[in-house]
Amino acid sequence: MERPKKPAAIPVSPIQPTPQVSISDDNSRVTATLPTGQRVEILLYGATVISWKSANGRENLFLSDKAILDGSKPVRGGVPLVFPVFGPPKPDHPTGKLPQHGFARSSRWEYLGKSSSESSTLPNSKGDASVKLDFGLSHSMIDSSKWDYSFNLTYSVTLSQDNLGTSLVVRNTGSSNYDFQVLFHTYLAVDDITQTTISGLEEAAFIDKTQRAKQVEPANKAISITAETDRVYTLASEKPLTVAEQGEPRYEITRDMLSDVVVWNPWVEKAKSMADFGPEDGYTKMVCVEAGSVSAWNTLEAGDTWEGGQRLKTL
- Residue 284: helix, strand or coil by DSSP? helix
Q: Are 132 and 157 in contact (CB under 8 A)?
A: yes
57: left (phi over 0), alpha (psi -120 to 50) or beta: left
State the Cα–Cα distance between residues 110 and 309, nearest whole angstrom: 19
Number of Cβ within a 10 Å radius of residue 301 = 11
185 is an active site residue? yes
Taking the C-alpha atoms of residue 52 and residue 60, their distance in angstroms, rounded to an integer, is 6
Q: What angle do CA 31, 290, 286 make, to 5 degrees?
A: 75
CA 17 remoteness from chain centre: 27
Q: What share of the chain is helix, strand, coil (3-state, %, to 5)?
A: 5, 45, 50
Residue 29 to residue 246: CA distance in whole angstroms: 35
The residue from 59, 93, 185, 202 that is catalytic is: 185
Spatial separation of the C-alpha atoms in residues 257 and 167, rounded to whole Å? 10
Residues ≥6 apart with Cβ < 8 Å to 15: none
Beta carbons within 10 angstroms of residue 168's beta carbon = 24
Is-catalytic flag, 110? no
**Which of these is catalytic: 202, 203, 290, 301?**
290
Backbone angles phi, psi at 99, to 5 degrees: -75, 170
Q: Distance from CA of residue 265 to its chain's centroid?
A: 17
| Close Cβ partners of 272 (under 8 Å, ≥ 6 residues apart) | 280
Strands 286-300 and 187-189: antiparallel
Alpha helices in the chain (DSSP H): 267-273
Catalytic positions, written as ranges: 185, 290
